């Protein structure tokens, strides 16, 4: 049984999913009556911009290209991209890549009203959320607005085939984190819980296969499908402690996005598990394919996550990415500003211990 009462709002977004679907971009633009797209990439993904330009019919068929998208969507880069979009007379933006490029596309779209078409190449799930996280003056802040949600998302499994294994794993766990929080979100509901369970199960079953067989197309398809569902979950019901802590660590300490989510997930979940309801515990147990969901314990859920991490080439801590032990208290102070709702109240001693464990990269345990 699920918790009552609840409300459910579906986010309107067109999804094209399959293999080779990137070639449908011209048809999508034509359907929307658009003809002057601004193509967005990172500096490392210029070749993907080349591919889009070729598919669209050449340089004369695009308004322009902006290849300076970076992690955490700094407002300075957004202002530069906005000026360029105006100069070239773009009537829409097309972002290809991961969260950095998609974030920039969202930032431009919500400020200008231009249609945003996303072509994800990772499993981050940002493309399915009406949420924008931006960094300014060393602090990352988020806002939610239906206008932020991209209008069209083209998922092409072929674009993920060369995604490095380590990046596939951290990107996949990042998506899993979206769905885990959705299961116990304040606005949670049984529809989103179903999507969350399916999304988590799809990704966590696919990732170990990708470690041993990176070119397994079925596993790549399952991971991308799961990322889509997990993104829908985050975009529908909001965020809690996990995302607040990730935004703190990423925005204020310049830590990599997916790797930070990977390190935080088991510890933030361990902190919250004692306060979750039986239906939420059962949903988490089912998502991780535990044999008996009705009797699953918080310890078994965390143990399942720990075992998954054992099979993946991921870093459990963020110290390797530049976080220092002496910065733990500073991170806790920032995390307590403008707190997100959370099923368990944020207690400074417990939160500090979570941040310490995330920094050190310890195995998660339910003892907070």
- The token pair that represents 11 in the structure block: 């986010």
Q: Give pLDDT, residue 144.
A: 87
CB crowding 147-185: b at 16 or more within 10 Å, else e? ebbbbbbbbbbebbeebebebbbbbbbbbbbbbbbbbbb
3-state secondary structure of 140: strand
**Spatial contact of 234 and 11, defined as CB atoms under 8 Å apart:** no
Distances (CA, A) of 310 to 5, 9, 101, 133, 259: 38, 37, 30, 30, 15
Q: How far is CA 186 from CA 3, 20, 141, 243, 284, in A?
A: 11, 38, 20, 14, 16
Could you give the residue ranges of the DSSP H alpha helices within the chain? Answer: 25-32, 46-56, 75-88, 99-112, 165-183, 190-212, 217-237, 241-253, 257-272, 278-287, 298-310, 328-335, 348-360
Rounded to an integer, what distance in angstroms lies between the CA atom of residue 333 and that of residue 276? 25
The Cα–Cα gap between 295 and 350 comes to 26
Report whether 149 contacts 117 (CB < 8 A).
no
Q: Which residues are CB-contacts of 143 (< 8 A; sequence separation ≥ 6)?
A: 131, 132, 134
Instruction: Specify the pLDDT at position 1.
Output: 46
Give residue for tokens 């340089």.
59
Whole-angstrom Cα distance, residue 20 to residue 155? Answer: 9
Residue-range domain boundaries for the chain? 14-160, 165-360
Q: What is the pLDDT of residue 256?
A: 93
User: What are the beta bridge partners of residue 97?
Assistant: 120
Neighbouring CB atoms inside 10 A of 297's CB total 13
Helix (H/G/I), strand (E/B), else coil: 78: helix
> What integer pLDDT is reported at residue 191 of this predicted model?
93
Structure tokens at 366: 């339910």
**How far apart are the C-alpha atoms of 13 and 164, rounded to whole Å?**
28
Structure tokens at 318: 């963020």
- Burial class of residue 345, CB neighbours in 10 A (0-12, 13-18, 19+): exposed
pTM strictly above 0.85: yes
Distance CA 137, CA 75 (A): 9
Strands 115-120, 64-69: pairing is unpaired
Q: What is the pLDDT of residue 348?
A: 96
Q: How confident is the model at residue 368, as a pLDDT? A: 85
Are the beta carbons of 134 and 73 closer than 8 angstroms? yes
Q: What are the pLDDT digits (tens) for 61-77?
A: 999 999 999 988 999 99
Q: How many CA atoms lie within 13 A of 310 on its CB side?
A: 8
Measured distance CA(206)–CA(200) in Å, rounded: 10
Considering Cα of 335, then 351, then 145, then 156, what sign does the dihedral take?
A: positive
pLDDT of residue 237: 86
Q: Supply the pLDDT for residue 4.
A: 66
The segments of the chain whose pLDDT lies below 70 read: 1-4
Q: If one looks up domain 14-160 in CATH, what number appears? A: 3.40.50.1970
List C-alpha distances in Å: 226 to 81, 128, 179: 31, 12, 10
Q: Which CATH architecture has domain 165-360?
A: Up-down Bundle (1.20)
Q: What is the pLDDT of residue 3?
A: 65
Task: Calculate the dihedral angle through the C-alpha atoms of 53, 162, 66, 12, rounding to the nearest 10 degrees.
Answer: 90
């Amino acid at each position: 049984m699920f918790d009552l009462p609840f409300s459910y709002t579906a986010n309107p977004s067109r999804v094209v999913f399959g293999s080779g679907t990137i070639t449908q971009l011209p048809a999508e633009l034509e359907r929307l009556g658009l003809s002057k797209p601004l193509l967005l990439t990172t500096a490392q993904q210029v070749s993907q911009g080349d591919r889009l330009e070729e598919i669209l019919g050449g340089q004369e068929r695009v308004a322009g290209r902006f290849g300076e998208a970076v992690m955490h969507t700094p407002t300075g880069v957004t202002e530069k991209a906005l000026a360029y979009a105006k100069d070239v007379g773009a009537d829409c933006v097309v972002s290809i890549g991961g969260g950095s490029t998609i974030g920039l596309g969202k930032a431009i779209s919500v400020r200008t009203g231009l249609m945003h078409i996303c072509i994800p190449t990772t499993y981050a799930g940002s493309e399915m959320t009406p949420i924008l996280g931006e960094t300014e003056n060393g602090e990352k802040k988020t806002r939610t607005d239906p206008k932020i949600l991209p209008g069209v998302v083209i998922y092409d499994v072929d674009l993920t085939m060369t995604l490095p294994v380590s990046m596939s794993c951290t990107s996949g766990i990042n998506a899993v984190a979206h769905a885990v929080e959705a299961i116990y979100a304040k606005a949670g509901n049984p529809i989103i819980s179903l999507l969350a369970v399916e999304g988590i199960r799809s990704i966590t079953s696919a990732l170990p296969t990708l470690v041993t067989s990176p070119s397994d197309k079925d596993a790549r398809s399952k991971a991308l499908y799961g990322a889509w569902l997990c993104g829908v979950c985050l975009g529908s019901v909001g965020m809690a402690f996990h995302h607040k802590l990730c935004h703190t660590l990423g925005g204020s300490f310049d830590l990599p996005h997916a790797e930070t989510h990977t390190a935080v997930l088991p510890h933030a979940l361990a902190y919250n598990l004692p306060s979750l309801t039986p239906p939420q515990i059962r949903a988490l147990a089912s998502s991780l394919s535990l044999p008996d969901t009705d009797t699953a314990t918080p310890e078994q859920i965390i143990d399942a996550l720990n075992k998954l991490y054992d099979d993946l080439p991921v870093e459990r801590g963020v110290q390797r990415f530049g976080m220092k032990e002496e910065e733990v208290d500073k991170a806790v102070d920032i995390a307590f500003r403008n707190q997100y709702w959370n099923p368990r109240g944020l207690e400074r001693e417990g939160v500090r211990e979570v941040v310490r464990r995330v920094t050190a990269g310890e195995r998660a345990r339910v003892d907070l």
